[in-house]
Structure 1
Amino acid sequence: MNSNRMVVAQRGVIPPPKHYADSAWFKYILSCCAATTAEMVTYPLDLAKTRLQIQGEKGLNGSSQRSPYRGLASTGVGIIREEGMLRLWQGVTPAVYRHLIYSGTRMVLYEKVRDRLFTTRADGTRPVWQAIVGGILVGGIAQFLASPADLIKVQMQMEGKRRLEGHAPRIHSAGEAFIKIYNAGGLRGLWKGCMPNVYRSAFVNLGDLTTYDSVKRYFVNTWALSDDYWTHALSSACSGLIGATMGTPVDVVKTRVMNQPTDDRARGLLYRNSLDCLLKTVHNEGFWALYKGFIPCWLRMGPWSLTFWLTYEQIRNLSGTSAF
């Protein structure tokens, strides 16, 4: 199916060529495949971002981490030199698990909400405020469901750094991390840092999913651009920048809340809650500490969005599914 046929099919003039192509379960699988591809390609940037967000954080004794990294490049080089090349993908397994829940849920839910509840104008565009509400809603729901996998990912990402600082290893695998977290805090412990995670996802989806959908429809319906690679690339570039700008502060809070040590009741020893973490971070390190890791976050979200949307749109095309 060419790009023009995809646009026509999307508007309902011709039916999809295969009976299963537009089913929710099939779109779920396609979105998981696209998200896994994007995650594997850009994961080292996520690891660097997490390390940068933690540096400068004051511990239980009031002291900050030693030997902070100095930017994205030196962070990556430092990880390779001190821990090895493969450590750039440390924690990628739970990251993929997360997207098997998160990306599939958010993409299917958003499309269902958009097609059934959004208002469609005569020119094919939809009100931006509806896209904003839809993006925030589905992002929060999807991230809540995937929060345990995100918690495991963050803790695994920090293991290499902890060992270099002389701390005993906490975990060696995603399965071990899951069991230890569950044994320490039960089901509640698996959702540690859940709320900043949900807030972050809501903002990121507002920037990523909502921006991509709105910008792409504007290009196709108003500027009469073809629904092709170039339109997908331009739309994803916009979504990556807006998503990183809106999501980085909440991502910093989420990372610190998830990485902090806990007591025997799964309560944090550094921060009482997300607001407490936000206030302490600004007080101890200044407002711009909320944007630690912004460059790798942006550099990751840009390629991630580009890889995801190009992959997703093309496999939908090849599978006979209507364009997003």
Structure 2
Amino acid sequence: MQSVTPNESSVAATSSSTAAAVAKTKILDKKKQQALAHDRISYPFWFGGSASSFAACVTHPLDLVKVRLQLRSGDAPKNMSGTFMHIVRNQGPLGLYNGLTASLLRQMTYSTVRFGVYEELKARFTPADGTKPSLPLLIGLSTFSGFLGGISGNAADVTNVRMQQDLALPQAQRRGYKHGLDGMFRMLREEGPKSWFRGVWPNSTRAALMNASQLASYDTIKGLLMEYTPLGDTTTTHFASSLVAGFVATTICSPVDVIKSRVMSTSHEQGIAHLLRDIYAKEGITWMFKGWVPAFLRLGPQTICTFMFLEAHRKVYRRFKGIED
């Protein structure tokens, strides 16, 4: 039998490791090509609004609890679990879906615009040589599209906040909107056109921050995972990217979210500066993160569900168009 020298063993090991490195490089190159190919597909404008509407059906109870905590008064429960049980005891399980129609109306306006404009701008600003847009560019595009989305969905958002708060108010103060459209048109008749734009600046600012922190971080993390790991365009990638995006978005948007809820819940004009002074005098600096836990427990699953539904929309679209995954 022919013996193998140490030099021959070393050469064989080196060849084996080189072959493995080449194979790994080929896999990563394939993932990069896949990521680039997916980025260049033009999807329908309404996909973001549709995906967000599906997500709202899943996470609406958490959004309701968050609003109730931000607007709590008197002897109302002070924590998430207490608020949740208080709603179920007094209004039944269906009470957790108060204001769902307004929430869906909001997603159909706000989210359709913010996702649609962002994807259109991203396609226009993506270099022809295949270079991915930089993070600062993605933040700028998503901030602009989020601001437009906040304006377009403001009327539905005001209605949404009011319907979620309504049953927590004394009987004499309840508005009793039947559904989202009824609330919008009653506001128009009873309070005038300005009511549709109540809180529009904090709302649009929040929407801009939300979009910048959510979409830009999701696209960046997803791109990195697809390019530098063997995960590819998979459910694991989508889940990890959206979870981080939800955490970032919740933290950045929390102070503006509190202001938005308090401005929209009132029927009278109140300056932002005056409101901030009152909040700070009564609650201190902690007002900025009031309701953060329910906000994250709502926005985290909301972000995950939104992007998972969005990626499902895209996958079905690629199959329908005969585009290879």
TM-score strictly above 0.5: yes
SS of alignment partner, residue 175 of structure 2: coil
Kindly tell me the number of residue pairs found equivalent between the two proteins.
292
Alignment of 1:189 onto 2:195: yes
SS of alignment partner, residue 167 of structure 1: helix
Q: Partner of 2:215 in structure 1?
A: 209
Q: Deviations over 1:263-291 (max 9, x none)?
A: xxxxx2xx22x233223211221111121
CA contact (8 A) 1:8 1:14 kept: no
SS of alignment partner, residue 172 of structure 2: coil
Tell me, in whole angstroms, the C-alpha distance in 2 between the residues paired with 1:133 and 1:312: 22
Tell me, in whole angstroms, the C-alpha distance in 2 between the residues paired with 1:15 and 1:109: 15
Question: Aligned-pair distance for 1:166?
Answer: 4.2
Structure with the higher helix share, 1 or 2: 2
CA contact (8 A) 2:142 2:211 kept: yes
Cα gap change, 1:99/1:139 in structure 2, threshold over 3 Å: closer, same or farther?
A: same
Q: Partner of 1:100 in structure 2?
A: 108
CA contact (8 A) 1:32 1:104 kept: yes
Which aligned pairs between 1:2-41 and structure 2 lie closer than 5 A?
8=33, 11-12=36-37, 22=42, 26-28=44-46, 30-41=47-58
Which aligned pairs between 1:142-291 and structure 2 lie closer than 5 A?
142-162=149-169, 165-173=170-178, 174-262=180-268, 268=269, 271-272=270-271, 274-291=272-289
TM-score (norm 2): 0.83
Cα gap change, 1:175/1:126 in structure 2, threshold over 3 Å: closer, same or farther?
A: closer
Question: Aligned-pair distance for 1:311?
Answer: 1.2
Q: Deviations over 1:87-139 (max 9, x none)?
A: 111011011011111111111211111121245886x5331111111111100
Cα gap change, 1:223/1:54 in structure 2, threshold over 3 Å: closer, same or farther?
A: same
% of aligned pairs identical? Answer: 25
Q: For 1:48, which of 42, 59, 65 is the aligned residue?
A: 65
Cα gap change, 1:183/1:283 in structure 2, threshold over 3 Å: closer, same or farther?
A: same
Q: Partner of 1:62 in structure 2?
A: none
SS of alignment partner, residue 310 of structure 1: helix
Cα gap change, 1:13/1:242 in structure 2, threshold over 3 Å: closer, same or farther?
A: closer
Question: Aligned-pair distance for 1:306?
Answer: 0.9
Cα gap change, 1:294/1:15 in structure 2, threshold over 3 Å: closer, same or farther?
A: closer
Q: For 2:122, which of 107, 111, 114 is the aligned residue?
A: 114
Aligned amino acid, residue 233 of structure 2 = D
Tell me, in whole angstroms, the C-alpha distance in 2 between the residues paired with 1:33 and 1:183: 29
Aligned amino acid, residue 153 of structure 2 = A
Tell me, in whole angstroms, the C-alpha distance in 2 between the residues paired with 1:115 and 1:245: 28
Tell me, in whole angstroms, the C-alpha distance in 1 between the residues paired with 2:156 and 2:176: 14
Question: Aligned-pair distance for 1:13?
Answer: 9.5
Question: Aligned-pair distance for 1:319?
Answer: 1.6
Q: Partner of 2:313 in structure 1?
A: 315
CA contact (8 A) 1:281 1:290 kept: no
In structure 2, stretches of 5+ residues that fail to align are 1-28
Tell me, in whole angstroms, the C-alpha distance in 2 between the residues paired with 1:305 and 1:88: 19
In structure 1, stretches of 5+ residues that fail to align are 17-21, 56-64, 263-267
User: RMSD of the TM alignment (CA)?
Assistant: 2.5
Higher Cα radius of gyration: 2
Aligned amino acid, residue 31 of structure 1 = G
Question: Aligned-pair distance for 1:5?
Answer: 9.0
SS of alignment partner, residue 70 of structure 1: coil
Task: Identify which range, 5-14 or 237-246, moves more after superposition.
Answer: 5-14
Tell me, in whole angstroms, the C-alpha distance in 2 between the residues paired with 1:130 and 1:107: 16
Tell me, in whole angstroms, the C-alpha distance in 2 between the residues paired with 1:226 and 1:9: 8
**Relative CO higher for 1 or 2, CA cutoff 8 Å, sep ≥ 6?**
1
Question: Aligned-pair distance for 1:314?
Answer: 1.6
TM-score (norm 1): 0.83
Q: Deviations over 1:225-274 (max 9, x none)?
A: 31100000000000000000011110100000000132xxxxx2xx22x2
Q: Deviations over 1:164-222 (max 9, x none)?
A: x3434212313332222112332222111111100111111121111101111121123
CA contact (8 A) 2:50 2:112 kept: no
Tell me, in whole angstroms, the C-alpha distance in 2 between the residues paired with 1:14 and 1:157: 38
SS of alignment partner, residue 286 of structure 1: helix
Q: Partner of 1:66 in structure 2?
A: 74
Cα gap change, 1:307/1:5 in structure 2, threshold over 3 Å: closer, same or farther?
A: farther
Q: Partner of 1:59 in structure 2?
A: none
